[in-house]
Amino acid sequence: MKSKDIKSIAYAFISEDVNVYFPDNDEDCFIVEKLVCAACKAFWHTSLNECYFCGEINYYLYVCTSCGKKYSITNSTIKCSCKDSESKLIKACVNKECLTNTDDVLKSFSITEKGVFDLDSSQSLSQMYCIKCGSPENTYRSFKIFVFNDNEETNFKDYYLRINSYFDFGDILILKKHIDINELVYAFITELTSDLKIDQIEYKYSSMSKLIKNII
Amino acid sequence: MDYKNVTFPVNVFEDVKGEYFSKHNKKNVTEDFVTENMKEMGWNVYRPFNDTGIDLIATKAVCKVCFEDLYDKQTSAKCQKCNSDLVYIKRFIQVKTREIKGDENNSSFGFTLKSKDIRTDPRHVFLLYSDYSKDFLFINTYEYLKLFSENENIGKSHFSTPSFRKGNNKQNSLKRDEQNKWSWSGISFNNFLNEIGLRGITNPKIDLELGSFVTMTQQLKFELFYNYSRGRNDNIDSEKEISIKNIILENVIKNLSINSSGKRNIVTNRENSRMGIISETTDTLRKSIEEGYFVKFKGLSFNEE
């Protein structure tokens, strides 16, 4: 069983969509992992689909094949207000320049598959380009997280001796303390030394959410 | 360099036979089987706390020079044998466990990979575990894509057909023969097998040159994924197929190019589509998309800069 402090911090990462892994040994830490853009570090979403032909993302919309009007996909029974006899609502690519909207053969093929983003369509791929900068490269951002509760663990030197052998370059020690019963503050350090003066640490984060945004 | 003989993997759970488990209850035991075997070889293993798509993260400090000595467990700052620097390596392992089908002389290992499984980080490793023959095949994304890029006959069938982009894309071409030789359409997979495969993923070269390997993996991924081919039932003739393939490749080059506003064209194109949707939809509809779907994708919003 992990200590409640470690678990509590781990859930804070999960709430920010960062993945957490616990050691299969006695190490007093956990690993966080997130697939990010290799260029700008924006989160990379493997469940977000893109159009195979042009790279446009899925907007989760029905598009009328006759007039292009857009509808929510939560209502599958609706018909387009244009009332065209040929009208079909499909999960089409929203890029007007896409081959599936400009090329007659591919447009017809797309309609046959109920649109680029239909679950059974062969016309989409998992995210290929970063949603922020367009880079095609993704990489894992990952490191170990250690937690020191300043209210409970009084002797930092003992804690240091316990974790020093597996605190590696790039790992992060999170320090937390209660400044009153309902108010927590946090700090983090990236370099572990035995003479670290815990009482001189500036606890500048008022929430884990803010701290996580700073380190991921 | 000669290294001690290694038996890997070993049967770490001697009190229970693999065949006592069915596909409905074997996920945990197989991942634990992998975990214990990696630990035997000196790796630290971390298991997911939430549903992540990766079954385990394995880390190890290895010597730049004698990393192939699998039993070597480094405990100091420098290699205990040759005094070279150590490299802290990390592997993100996705386990695919299958019972091989067929008879003992010619059996196949069926598994599925989707486009979401192919990341451009070469530290992502597919571990194909045959729980019948107790074989591990370790192959990272870079090696996997390179294999299909260099061997056109298997590459085409794997990535360029619509089946890769549709359904579960089950692959049944990986075979094991009676001499425990593994191959895919005649291409040997024995370099990925058991201790040889483990040596392969222990090589710290990809960690030391990570940026270059990410780029090479991405290039292979794009080359294979955008090698368009029509499906059997598509109403597309061969001339049209070539024309579509060329347009797709042109689009990829355009998408990646930087335009006069200093952005990649894919970013500008997407901004134009987003603005188009904003002008064509109601606030209520966009709010429903944000709350129902975009909420799963941090950083994605109609209101982004």
pLDDT at B126 over 60: yes
Given an 8 Å threshold on Cβ–Cβ distance, is B39 in contact with A72?
A: no
Q: Based on the fold, state whether residues A141 and A207 are members of the same structural domain.
A: yes
Residue A143: domain span: 4-42+137-215
Q: Do residue A31 and residue A75 come from a single domain?
A: no
Residues of chain B neighbouring A36 (CB-CB closer than 8 A): none
Characterize the bridge pairing of strands B135-140 and B187-188.
unpaired
Q: What is the CATH number of the domain that holds A175?
A: 3.40.1350
At B38, give phi and psi (nearest 5°): -65, -40
Least confident of A85-94, A129-138, B98-107, B288-297: B98-107
B220 belongs to a structural domain: yes
Measure A87 CA to nearest chain B CA, in Å: 18
Both B268 and B213 in one domain: the answer is no
Residue A198 lies in a domain: yes
Is residue B135 a part of any domain in this protein? yes
**Partner residue facing B44 (CB), from A25, A46, A121:** A25
Indicate whether B171 and B282 sit together in one domain: no
Contacts of B244 in chain A (CB under 8 A): 99, 103, 106
What does the pLDDT read at residue A46? 96
Residues A76, A120 within the same domain: yes
Residue B153 within any structural domain of the chain: yes
Last residue of a domain, one of B195, B224, B253: B224
Q: In A, which residues are within 8 Å of B162 by CB distance?
A: 122
Average pLDDT for chain A:
93
Task: Tell me if A124 and B165 make a contact (CB, 8 A cut-off).
Answer: yes
Whether B250 and B115 map to the same domain: the answer is: no
Same domain, yes or no: A111 and A59: yes
Condensed to tens digits (0 to 9), the pLDDT of residues A83-115 reads 899 999 999 999 999 999 999 999 999 999 999
Query: Last residue of some domain: A96, A126, A156?
Result: A126
Q: Which of A84, A105, A126 is where one domain is finished? A: A126
How many structural domains is chain A composed of?
2
Task: Classify residue A200: in a domain, yes or no.
Answer: yes
Structure-model confidence comparison of residues B164 and A60, the more confident one: A60
Do A21 and A63 lie in one domain? The reply is no
Residue that has been written with the tokens 């094991």 in this structure: B176
Asked if residue B134 and residue B75 are part of one domain, the reply reads yes
Please list, residue by residue across B12-50, b when 16 or more beta carbons sit within 10 angstroms of its beta carbon and e when fewer do.
eeeeeebeebeeeebeebbbbbbbbbbebbbbbbbbbbe
Return the ∠ at Cα B274 (arms to B270 and B280), rounded to 5°: 145
Q: A106 touching B, CB under 8 A?
A: yes
Asked if the model's pLDDT at residue B104 lies above 70, the reply is no
Chain A residues touching B165 at Cβ < 8 A: 52, 121-125
B229 in any annotated domain: no
Residues A107 and A154 in one domain: no
- Residues B199, B248, single domain; the answer is no
At position A18, the amino acid (one-letter code) is V
Residue B110 reports pLDDT greater than 90: no
Of A126, A160, A188, the residue that ends a domain is A126
Kindly state whether A138 is in contact with chain B, defined as any CB-CB distance less than 8 angstroms: yes
B44 contacts in chain A (CB < 8 Å): 23-25, 27, 166
Q: Are residues B264 and B124 in the same domain?
A: no
Tell me the pLDDT tens digit for each residue of A124-165: 999 999 999 999 999 999 999 999 998 876 688 889 999 998
- B25 lies in the same domain as B83: yes
Number of folded domains in chain B?
A: 2
- Whether residue A206 is contained in a domain is answered as yes
Cα gap B72→B67, rounded to integer Å: 8
B103 has pLDDT over 70: no
Residues B174 and B40 in one domain: yes
Do residue A143 and residue A205 come from a single domain? yes
Residue A131 lies in a domain: no
Structure tokens at B115: 């486009």
Q: Is there a domain that residue A37 lies in?
A: yes
* Buried b / exposed e along A181-197 (16+ C-beta atoms within 10 A): eeebbbbbbeebeeebe
Residue of chain A minimizing CA distance to B48 = A21
In tens, the pLDDT along B213-267 reads 999 999 999 999 999 888 776 778 889 999 999 999 999 999 999 999 999 999 9
Residue predicted with more confidence, B288 or B83: B288
To 5 degrees, how large is the angle CA B60–CA B62–CA B67?
Answer: 125
Same-domain check for residues B120 and B176: yes
Q: List chain B residues with CB under 8 Å of A122.
A: 162-163, 165-166, 231
Task: Kindly provide the ipTM of the predicted complex, given to two decimals.
Answer: 0.94
The domain boundary, picked from B224, B246, B262, lies at B224
Query: Among B224, B252, B278, which residue terminates a domain?
Result: B224
Contacts of A92 in chain B (CB under 8 A): none
For B272-292, what is the mean pLDDT?
96
pLDDT at B21: 76
**A119 and A61 share one domain:** yes
| pLDDT at position B180 over 90 | no
Residue B56 falls inside a structural domain: yes
Q: Which of A57, A125, A138 sits opposite B165 (nearest CB)?
A: A125
B50 in any annotated domain:
yes
B230 lies in some domain = no
Answer whether residue B190 is part of any domain. Answer: yes
**Interatomic CA distance for residues A100 and A16, integer angstroms:** 36
A30: nearest CA partner in chain B: B46
pLDDT digits (tens, 9 = 90+) for B35-76: 999 999 999 999 999 888 899 999 999 998 888 777 667 777
Residue A132 inside a domain? The answer is no
Instruction: Tell me what pLDDT residue A17 has.
Output: 95
Interface of A with B in 46-75 (CB under 8 A): 46-48, 52-61, 68-72, 74
Alpha carbon distance B176, B110 (integer Å): 11
For residues A119 and A76, membership in a common domain is answered with yes
**Any domain includes A179:** yes
Do B138 and B215 lie in a common domain?
yes
- Grouping H, G, I as helix, E, B as strand and the rest as coil, residue B71 is coil
> Are A73 and A114 found together in one domain?
yes
Q: Using CB atoms, which residue from A17, A21, A54 is nearest to B46?
A: A21
In this complex, which of A16, A21, A95 lies closest to B47 when CB atoms are compared? A21
A17 in a domain, yes or no?
Answer: yes
Please say if the pLDDT value at position A76 is more than 80: no
User: Taking CB atoms and an 8 Å limit, are A140 and B281 in contact across chains?
Assistant: no
The answer on B257 and B188 residing in a single domain is: no
pLDDT over 50 at A1, yes or no:
no
Do B27 and B136 have their domain in common? yes
Structure confidence at residue A4 as a pLDDT band (50, 70, 90): confident
Q: Are residues A57 and A36 in the same domain?
A: no
Mean pLDDT across chain B? 88
Range of the domain at B38: 18-224
Q: In the prediction, which pLDDT does B3 show?
A: 59
Q: Do B293 and A60 make contact, defined as CB atoms within 8 angstroms?
A: yes
Interchain CB contacts (distance < 8 Å): A and B: 196
Please name the residues in contact with B28: beta carbons below 8 A apart, sequence gap of 6 or more: none
How large is the average pLDDT for residues B278-301? 95
